[in-house]
Amino acid sequence: MRIKAIAFNTFKEAVRNKVFYLLVVLGIVSALSSVIISMLTLGDKEKILKDVGLASIDFFCVLIAIFTGINLVYKEIEKRTIFNILSKPISRGSFILGKFMGLSLTLLVALSSMTVIFFIFLFLATGSFDFKILAYFFLLYLELLVITSISLLFSSFSTPILSSIFTISLYLIGTVSWTFNEFKNQLTPVANFIGHILYYILPNLAKFNIKNELVLDENLNSYLIFNGILYAVCYTSALLILTMIIFRKREFQ
């Protein structure tokens, strides 16, 4: 019940944030602009609509995950409300878990809103629904949970500015971390060993990206979806455990 209370309080704080609404609106406007671009561009309008629209939603949802997550713990410390919270019969681990669940709910609401709007745009532009896109949004949500756990980790011991730099850096690395395996045969044995370790330590966000399959209207491999689910569960759980360990050892003044 205490975790639930923290989660809902975090959700309420997040949706009151003007930046949250700004990013959601910008995501919807960008998805709408994809309709206009598809009409003004030569080629398959549906492919262009999917490509631009899905990329826009992905971009703004990631921004929400990062810039909301980096303030989750720091705000409580800065306002010194952390002392009131931890003075109650609630563990620091439960506090971290509640914060994570609250932001996860916030992201679910934001992504659901953009998904509904995108499907409306898609139907108006093409006259049909492509329900395979639901798999894309599902994997995108899993990706957002991984990013949230990363931002929460840095938020537990760093300032918002440093947290944003670290989180954005890991996000950018995560989108290209698959290249570590691609070039391993061209590296020295030591560099290959280091790259192999980094491949498993750093986030591999390519596991959640099936946009090309959707845009090109290819059949979705169920293994990709299952692999994405398993990776998100394992990686997010590991980061949350690490965040709890760091937060438990932190001293507040």
Range with the lowest mean pLDDT among 36-45, 99-108, 197-206?
A: 36-45
Averaged pLDDT score across all residues of the chain:
80
Give the per-residue pLDDT at 34: 66
Give the per-residue pLDDT at 239: 94
Average of per-residue pLDDT across 152-160: 86
Range with the lowest mean pLDDT among 69-83, 150-164, 235-249?
A: 69-83
Whether residue 71 contacts residue 152, with contact meaning beta carbons closer than 8 Å, is answered with no
Beta carbons within 8 Å of 16's beta carbon, 6+ residues apart: none
Give the per-residue pLDDT at 142: 94
Give the per-residue pLDDT at 178: 67
Q: Tell me if residue 217 falls in helix, strand or coil.
A: coil
Average of per-residue pLDDT across 208-234: 83
Q: What is the DSSP letter of 245?
A: H
Quick check: pTM over 0.85?
Answer: yes
Whether residue 145 contacts residue 233, with contact meaning beta carbons closer than 8 Å, is answered with no
Give the per-residue pLDDT at 149: 93
- Please say if the pLDDT value at position 230 is more than 70: yes
Residues of the chain above pLDDT 90, percent: 15
Beta carbons within 8 Å of 9's beta carbon, 6+ residues apart: 98, 102
Range with the lowest mean pLDDT among 25-39, 57-71, 200-214?
A: 25-39
Q: How far apart are CA 80 and CA 91, in angstroms?
A: 17
Residues of the chain above pLDDT 70, percent: 85
Which alpha helices (DSSP H) does the chain contain, by range? 2-16, 18-40, 45-69, 72-78, 81-86, 92-126, 133-155, 160-176, 179-182, 189-201, 211-215, 222-249
Show the tokens assigned to 67. 């810039």
